[in-house]
Amino acid sequence: MVASATTESRGSMAMELTTGDPALTTRLERGMDASEEQLRALATEARDPWVAEVAGHLFGNGGKRLRPLLALVGAEFGDRDPSAAVRAATLAELVHVASLYHDDVMDQARTRRGVPSVNARWGNTTAVLAGNWLLSKAAQLAAELGPEAIRLQSKVTNRLIMGQIRELVGPSDDDDPLSHYFTVVAGKSASLIAMALQLGAVRTGAPEPAVQALAEYGEHLGIAFQISDDILDITSTSEVSGKEQGKDLAIGVASLPVLLALADERPEAGELRTLLTAAAAGPEGAGLPRAVALLHRCGALAEARTVMHARLLRARTAVNGLPDGPATRVLHALCDFVARRDH
């Protein structure tokens, strides 16, 4: 039943983004199915059955597989068979899932994609080691794909780790909190989306200007996607987001709406600041609903949406030089998808 729901989720997203082009829909669905098979095979090939179970925990439990989809869309801009990008799609998802395992440890998350997180089920040490194992498999796959894949994968892994470190340490006294936020998001979220597009494009021999346009698009789309996640953390139920509602807020994560609210001069900002600093972990318990209400009242959510739409506009502008066609229209459709995620 889980596998069926997962397949439906992946297929519906590809179909939604490629309305009017059945041939592209078919290529993307086949590519995502093939990547899914590779992910399951990689997880189960571990000699230790326990490692296989932990490493593959999230592969069969939902998720739209956005990054594999982006790798396959990027492949459409080259002149080789797009199916050559299936392993690139698998690589992109391996790095992404590894980052989720590590993020859930840092955030003390109890659920992910509607199931217990790895750290909740097996403990933090196991979650970190499983994430490391997935990164090692990603590095092995990148080596098989060639020097450019190695360069992209190693660069993004470095950016991911630096983003996690910066988030953990927080801004210094001299740092602007908003600038620090965007630096963290660029490392932890945008880098993965840009990498997926680039990997697919490189695998099919896309021209360098197209690869660079896709990378720029991916950076802006990735930041917009994270802002939409920040908004969903406050506005969405766990059934919709796949995570605990208000989890980031409860543990004191400085999301964009929170940073914008705290910079506000209105009375709500002062009360919110008090709630956020009353306990080291954030507004747990009765304080959490009040903090959510204050974020709505002070206009921080609306302001965050404005910032998100500005990033989406920059993403659209980045691909204006790409040839008009089904793949370019998918990139614009992805912007539309992110824009309406929290509505």
pLDDT confidence band for 63 (50 / 70 / 90): low
Nearest to 5 by CA among 43, 60, 80: 60
* pLDDT tens-digit series, residues 187-222: 999 999 999 999 999 999 999 999 999 999 999 999
C-alpha distances in Å from residue 3, one per residue of 41, 63, 241: 15, 11, 19
Ranges of beta strands (E only) in the chain are 111-112, 115-116
Over range 294-304, report the average pLDDT: 87
pLDDT (0 to 100) of residue 94: 94
* pLDDT tens-digit series, residues 303-329: 999 999 999 999 999 999 899 999 999
Q: Is residue 178 part of a domain?
A: no
Residues 217 and 156 grouped into a single domain: no
Residues 222 and 157 grouped into a single domain: no
pLDDT confidence band for 7 (50 / 70 / 90): very low
**Domain assignment of residue 325, given as a range:** 207-342
Q: Is residue 280 part of a domain?
A: yes
**DSSP-derived 3-state class of residue 279:** coil
pLDDT (0 to 100) of residue 218: 98
* pLDDT tens-digit series, residues 140-174: 999 999 999 999 999 999 999 999 999 888 898 88
What burial letters (b/e) apply to 55-64, b meaning 16+ CB within 10 Å? Answer: bbbbbbbbbb
Burial class (CB in 10 A: 0-12, 13-18, 19+), 261: buried
Residues 157 and 216 grouped into a single domain: no
Q: Is residue 61 part of a domain?
A: yes
pLDDT (0 to 100) of residue 4: 37
Burial class (CB in 10 A: 0-12, 13-18, 19+), 8: exposed
Helix ranges, 204-325 (H): 208-235, 238-241, 247-250, 256-262, 267-277, 287-297, 300-318
Residues 31 and 135 grouped into a single domain: yes
Residues 142 and 227 grouped into a single domain: no
pLDDT confidence band for 2 (50 / 70 / 90): very low
Q: Is residue 258 part of a domain?
A: yes
Q: Is residue 191 part of a domain?
A: no
Three-state SS letters, 120-133: HHHCHHHHHHHHHH
The Cα–Cα gap between 112 and 243 comes to: 5
User: At which of 170, 197, 231 does a domain end?
Assistant: 170
Q: Is residue 197 part of a domain?
A: no
The Cα–Cα gap between 15 and 13 comes to: 5
Burial class (CB in 10 A: 0-12, 13-18, 19+), 4: exposed
Burial class (CB in 10 A: 0-12, 13-18, 19+), 81: exposed
Residue type for 120, please? A
What's the structural domain count of the chain? 2
Nearest to 112 by CA among 124, 123, 104: 104
pLDDT confidence band for 281 (50 / 70 / 90): very low
The Cα–Cα gap between 24 and 330 comes to: 10
